Amino acid sequence: MADEGRAAGDVSSANLDAIRSAIRGKYTEVAVSAEGKFGYPTGRAGAEALGYDAEAITQAPSGLLDSFCGVGNPFSLGEIPAGAVLLDYGSGAGFDLFIASRLVGETGKVCGIDLTEAMVERSRRNLSEAGCSNVEVRLVDGEQIPYPDNFFDVAISNGVINLSPFKAACFREIYRVLKPGGRLQFADIVLENALPVGMADSPEAWSQ
């Protein structure tokens, strides 16, 4: 990918490895449990507060909910049709993959990608336990999505793009893999003011 496409605002290239490493470190811990690691409700309480389907929450294995740290409910933004092929960008421990799996049904397909190995392993275990046979999860940096052009009907993402120093590249990749007329339904955190000097280049700040 061209450097221009990965322009990262205030982040120095020397610090990118440190930022990625801090993100992997934090989410390796979250793969065990999200409890006490965020300034907003997570786990079952988070899913309930965000208006996820109550029956789906009840039926989700606890491992799926324990590490849930989404910031919104991408499913509230539009209906997911049965048979759809869906991408979850930064799929974490797999709760949104579980929800999507039920919505697209046996004729659909759900693909998760995540940067953190522990999250990918946890989600595969969780989804196998939940009996979701129409889901696959790949360990990958989301700025290079390992699927062909025009592959997905819908892309969702929940609390992920804010963690990337390369937001333009994230969106460009998501649009590349969406079919014409496909939809991106995402929830995320946005900054309202510029970060204090030094924080924009801080690995710890990027991994919050």
Ligand X SMILES: C[S@@+](CC[C@H](N)C(=O)[O-])C[C@H]1O[C@@H](n2cnc3c(N)ncnc32)[C@H](O)[C@@H]1O
Q: Which residues bind ligand X (CB under 6 A)?
A: 23, 27, 68-70, 90-92, 95-96, 113-116, 119, 141-143, 158-160, 163-164
∠ CA 129-132-134, rounded to 5°: 150
What's the min distance (Å) between Cβ of 87 and ligand X? 11
Do 182 and 152 contact (CB within 8 A), yes or no? yes
Question: Closest CB to ligand X among 8 and 69?
Answer: 69
Q: Are 73 and 80 in contact (CB under 8 A)?
A: no
Of the pair 85, 156, the CB lying nearest ligand X is at 156
The least CB distance from residue 181 to ligand X, in Å, is: 24
In terms of CB distance, is 100 or 113 closer to ligand X?
113
CB 162 within 8 Å of CB 9: no
Q: Is the CB of 71 or the CB of 85 nearer to ligand X?
A: 71
Q: Which of 164, 185 has the CB closer to ligand X?
A: 164
- Least separation, in Å, of the C-beta of 99 and ligand X? 10
Task: Reduce the DSSP state of residue 184 to 3 states and report it.
Answer: strand
The residue nearest ligand X at its CB is 92
Sorted by sequence, the CB contacts under 8 Å of residue 198 that are 6+ apart come out as none
Strand segments (E) across 23-151: 85-89, 109-114, 135-139
The token pair at 47 is: 């899913």
Q: Cβ 100 to ligand X, closest distance in Å?
A: 11
Q: What is the DSSP string of 96-109?
A: HHHHHHHHH-TTSE
Minimum CB separation of residue 115 from ligand X in Å reads 4
